[in-house]
Amino acid sequence: MIRIGANPIGWSNDDMIEIGGDTPLETCLAEARQAGFTGMELGNKFPRQADALRPILEAYGHSLVSGWYSSELLLRDENAEILAADSHASLLRDLGCKVMIVCETSNAIHGQMDTPLSARPILPHDVWARFGMRLTAFANRLKQQYGLTLVYHHHMGSIVQTEAEIDRLMASTGDAVHLLLDTGHVAWGGGNPARVARNHRRRIAHVHTKDVRADIMLQSNSGDWSFLKSVLAGVYTVPGDGHVDFPAVFAELEGYEGWFVVEAEQDPQKAHPLTYATKGYDYLNRTLTAAGFTIER
């Protein structure tokens, strides 16, 4: 059984809070439910207290799917990290989430408007083992203390961007670390999302289904744009609106149970949120059903 959720970044952006900044949270939740989604990931407009957030989500028919956490394990050990993550992990646990989205951001450049992606950090060979050990230890603590599975979000502009780096991450960590498969980040990073799904199927515990506009991606790559400038130009879109082969990806995820999330950051002034949310949901509903998945409504 799988569910289809959304991320509010299609309505208001977390990295550029002025983008969609005037859109009320209630509009996002209402339109996501109208499009067909039954769950939402966290965004910057969500209350971070369980007692405050629960009735808001329930009023619009949503479960809380999960939420992004920025780790700094290159700078601190798992003991310091678990202390820093406590309030976030507690919120996810208290609202019934199963996974926590984690990305190492201590040296990431994806939030810098004028820093080109070519300047993103590359993790030295001799640091991978220490990073993998800390991430594994952090994942174990999250499971033991909060009942949450760590799903690592590979991301443009970070130390885990390419398919080879995803493979290295999985090889450097223990089974407590799971993978968030993000089709858009794999594709833009030069990889093959279906191959990543096949190679790491056993450890994939969360899926983001963003698509990529190939023409914008090529312009970004050739012009060495920043991540944020590329997003504003429209490099990402909802599934079914770009060049990612989703049927091939879904064929490699047989038996997967959990959330498929539309997380396609766009400028809402250029991409009407409800229109694109509906387009993304309808495509996922149709394509996942054709792939043999049973969708919980």
pLDDT of residue 17: 67
14 in a structural domain: no
Within a domain: residue 117? yes
Tens digit of each residue's pLDDT (9 = 90 or more) over 52-83: 999 999 999 999 999 999 999 999 999 999 99
| Mean pLDDT, the chain, whole residue set | 96
Residue 136 CA from chain centroid, whole number = 19
In tens, the pLDDT along 151-202 reads: 999 999 999 999 999 999 999 999 999 999 999 999 999 999 999 999 999 9
Q: pLDDT tens across 231-275, in order?
A: 999 999 999 999 999 999 999 999 999 999 999 888 888 999 999
pLDDT at residue 22 in the model: 80
What's the rounded mean pLDDT across residues 30-38? 98
Whether the predicted pLDDT of 26 surpasses 80: yes
The first and second tokens of residue 171, run together, are: 């090889």
% of the chain at pLDDT higher than 70: 98
CATH of the domain at 167: 3.20.20.150
Kindly write down the DSSP assignment for every residue of the chain, as one continuous string. Answer: -EEEEE-GGGTS-SSSTTTTTTS-HHHHHHHHHHHT--EE---TTS-SSHHHHHHHHHHTT-EE---EEEE-TTTS-HHHHHHHTHHHHHHHHHTT--EEEEEE-TT--TT-TTSBGGG-----GGGHHHHHHHHHHHHHHHHHHH--EEEEE--TTSSS-SHHHHHHHHHHS-TTEEEEEEHHHHHHTT--HHHHHHHTGGGEEEEE--EE-HHHHHHHHHHT-BHHHHHHHT-EE-TTSSS--HHHHHHTTTT--EEEEE-----TTTS-HHHHHHHHHHHHHHHHHHTTPPBP-
Position 14 scores a pLDDT of 74
Burial of 145 (0-12, 13-18, 19+ CB in 10 A): middle
Quick one: pLDDT at residue 12?
Answer: 84
Q: Is the pLDDT of residue 18 over 90?
A: no
For the chain, the domain total comes to 1
23: confidence class by pLDDT, cuts 50, 70, 90: confident
Query: Per the domain annotation, does 297 fall within a domain?
Result: no
- Integer Cα distance of 38 and 6 in angstroms: 8
- pLDDT at residue 13, rounded to an integer: 76
Bridge partner list, 272: none
pLDDT, tens digit (0-9, with 9 covering 90-100), for 93-124: 999 999 999 999 999 999 999 999 999 999 99
Q: What is the pTM of this model?
A: 0.97
In a domain, 204, yes or no: yes
Q: What pLDDT score was predicted for residue 94?
A: 98
Listed residue (295, 297, 211) closest to 257, CA to CA: 295
Give the pLDDT of residue 20.
Answer: 65
Q: Is residue 282 part of a domain?
A: no
Domain that holds residue 76: 65-272
| Rounded distance between C-alpha atoms, residue 216 and residue 56, angstroms | 37
Residue 251 lies in a domain: yes
Question: What average pLDDT does this structure show over 272-282?
Answer: 97
134, part of any domain: yes
**9 occurs within a structural domain:** no
Over residues 119-143, the pLDDT tens digits come to 999 999 999 999 999 999 999 999 9
Q: What is the pLDDT of residue 297?
A: 84
Tell which residue, 204, 211, 220, has the closest CA to residue 259. Answer: 204
Phi, psi of 152 (to 5 degrees): -85, 130
